[in-house]
Amino acid sequence: MAPDTTAPFVVSTTPANNAVGVAVNGAITVTFSEPVTGIDGTTFLVSANGAPVAGQVTYVGRTATFTPSSPLAAAGTTYTVTITTGVKDAAGNALASNYNWTFSTPAAAGNAVARAADGSIYVVGDTNGNLGVSTLVNQGARDIFLIKYDGSGNVAWRRLIGTSADESAAGVTVDASGGVYVAGATQGKLGDNIGANVGKSDLFIIKFDAGGNRLWAQQLGTTEDDAATGVAVDGNGGVYVAGHTSGTLAGAISAGQRDALLARFDASNGALIWTRQLGTAANDKATSVTADGTGIYVGGTTGGIMPGVPAATTYMGATDFFVAKFDASGNQTWTQQMGTPEDDILSGIAVFSGKVYVTGHTNCNLAGTNAAGDVGITYDLFAVSFRIGDGLMQWKQEFGSKGSEFATGVAVDASGVYVTGYTNGNLADPGAAMQSNPYDAFLVKYDLSGARQWVQQKGTAGSDLTNAVAVDGNGNTVITGYSSEPQNLAGSTAVGDGVFLLRYDGSGNPV
């Protein structure tokens, strides 16, 4: 018999090359013309905008599967997959050349939501489209949107803002006078204060009045990537943007790699008052910010020991989280850090009546035992409360199912603490087997002492991913995100391009 000299080749992939709108919970597969060897994490590579994606590779028959460690990013991220020539057939023939393909995730998401004192609701997000509204013009690539709803859920106005480059929205807040602040990142120039983009992505903040008129726009950045992740007002004329920078802000010192940042702007005219850059030699970022009359509270993640933590604090491993309080002058009042040997990722922060509340997710035992019992693999949500005066922890809770829970936001009022996110388990029956459906949206209520009150889980046969929650002071909540089947998401307001809005009363009933 003649020796086998035929190189193996790729027969098919999922997602297909150039696929768009790929569900973020999906696995990536490649099928070969014949059985192969050497297919593993070193020969099956996935990257997002050039950054490696973590995951596990399994191989059965002629098909290899890459399962990402966490869901793919929504909002139009492009992924590149490479199968290298390290893959060989049984006779030792290598793949003739590296095989590459690309795909991208959905083009839109609601990323943040805020409720004004008059009951109106503001939603921000980003889209590659125009929300299906012919009067809105996309300037190119991804733009940000801002929509105002009245208290009855009717659209008051919509804005689509951007440049020919990519924009992303991360935060929205409303001040007592009805001023609306939107923050995010742009690869172009959105700010009125600069002549051109400083380099790569810069952060921006834009103020609108309650009628949707743009009042001012500021852009801040370095020659490296900079982004805002949240925005908050203090009630005293200060507006604050949290985020991260891979460069060095003017007047600051980089601690190494990516650092967290906090910047104060004058709410009346947008003037930059001060910036703070803080971090460790590893990767750090602020993921959220809130404020009250006594301070500004920044939550984020770190790969080291954040400056300002109590002396006994240790870095536990992988990603830990931190909460830092600043005063209006930019002085760091206190900082707390928590974690486990695995991932502990803070995603939301809220303050109410002397306590600050954070949420996120952990794939370890942060507050109790990982619900699925598989440390390092599946995630639970967490909620932790700290005292605002000195940062002393008040309580911590971990909650999950046999699947993974990814918490994305928290809101609090006198009625309780509301945590939102998405799960591929069943939070109403946490011991049940992991569902075969993609992710569902969830909303979990705790009382102010950390006792769990109720759980709402809602989804379609597709992906339903919640990114943010807001509460109105009377326990009425609203959540926003992305659904691949918004028309099938019961009770939702379809915003356009897959963005949804769901409202609940304080008892968890849909309204």
User: CB-wise, 107 or 448, nearer to Ca ion?
Assistant: 107
Looking at 221, 230, 295, 425, which residue binds Ca ion (CB under 5 A)? 221
Closer residue to Ca ion, CB minimum distance, 191 or 438: 191
Q: Which two tokens stand for residue 32?
A: 């070969």
- Tokens encoding 474: 């009377």
Stretch that binds Ca ion, among 29-37, 229-237, 252-260, 292-300 (CB under 5 A): 252-260
Task: Report if residue 141 touches Ca ion, rule: CB under 5 A.
Answer: yes
Taking the complex as a whole, how short is the minimal distance between the CB of residue 323 and Ca ion, in angstroms?
Answer: 15
Nearest CB to Ca ion, comparing residues 258 and 503: 258
In DSSP terms, 238 is beta-bridged to: 266
Query: How many residues make up the chain in this entry?
Result: 511
Minimum distance from residue 198 beta carbon to Ca ion (Å): 5
User: Contact at 8 Å (CB) between 376 and 362?
Assistant: no
CA 155 – CA 501 distance, rounded (Å) = 12
Among 55, 125, 162, 184, binds Ca ion (CB under 5 A): 162
Which is closer to Ca ion, CB of 270 or CB of 339?
Answer: 339
Candidates 171, 179, 279, 299: give the one binding Ca ion (CB under 5 A): 279
For 230, what's the count of Cα atoms within 13 Å in the CB-facing half-sphere? 29
What's the rounded Cα separation, in Å, for the pair 55 and 37? Answer: 19
Q: How would DSSP label each residue in 155-181? A: EEEEEEE--SS-EEEEEEEE-TTS-EE
Choose between 202 and 398: whose C-beta lies nearer to Ca ion. Answer: 202
- Is 257 a binding residue for Ca ion by CB under 5 A? The answer is yes
From 54-62, 68-76, 132-140, 420-428, span contacting Ca ion (CB under 5 A) = 132-140
- Is residue 206 part of the contact set for Ca ion (CB under 5 A)? no
Q: Which is nearer to Ca ion, 27 or 250 (CB)?
A: 250
Complex with Ca ion: residue 3 or 195, whichever CB lies closer: 195
Q: What are phi and psi of 487, to 5 degrees?
A: -65, -20
Give the residue with the Cβ less far from Ca ion, 274 or 315: 315
Applying CB under 5 A, which part among 1-9, 61-69, 275-283, 435-443 lies near Ca ion?
275-283
200 makes contact with Ca ion (CB under 5 A): yes
* Structural Rg of the chain based on CA atoms: 23
By CB under 5 A, residue 339 contacts Ca ion: yes
- Does residue number 320 form part of the binding site for Ca ion (CB under 5 A)? yes
Q: Does 191 bind Ca ion (CB under 5 A)?
A: no
Characterise 49 by phi-psi region: left (phi > 0), alpha (psi -120 to 50), beta (else).
Answer: left
Residue 510 has phi, psi (to 5 degrees) of -60, 140
Stretch that binds Ca ion, among 61-69, 141-149, 236-244, 420-428 (CB under 5 A): 141-149
Q: Should residue 255 be labelled a site residue for Ca ion when binding is judged by CB under 5 A? A: yes
Residue 259 touches Ca ion, criterion: CB under 5 A: yes
d(CA 86, CA 8): 11
- Closest CB to Ca ion among residues 279, 403: 279
Instruction: Give the HSE-up count for residue 505: Cα atoms under 13 Å, Cβ half-sphere.
Output: 4
Residues in CB range of 134: below 8 A, 6 or more apart: none
What does the alpha-carbon distance between residue 279 and residue 351 come to, in Å, rounded to a whole number? 23
Q: Which window, 96-104, 332-340, 394-402, 414-422, contacts Ca ion (CB under 5 A)?
A: 332-340
For residue 244 the two structure tokens come to: 């991260």
For the bound state, the minimum distance from the C-beta of residue 139 to Ca ion, rounded and expressed in Å, comes to 5
SS3 content of the chain, % helix, strand, coil (to 5): 0, 50, 50
Distance in Å, CB of 256 to Ca ion, minimum: 5
Give the DSSP letter string of 313-376: ----SSSEEEEEEE-TTS-EEEEEEE--SS-EEEEEEEEETTEEEEEEEESS-SSS--TTS-TT
Binding segment (CB under 5 A) for Ca ion, from list 59-67, 342-350, 374-382, 427-435: 342-350
- Contacts with Ca ion, residue ranges (CB under 5 A): 139-141, 143, 162-163, 167, 198-200, 202, 221-222, 226, 255-257, 259, 279, 284, 316-318, 320, 339-340, 344
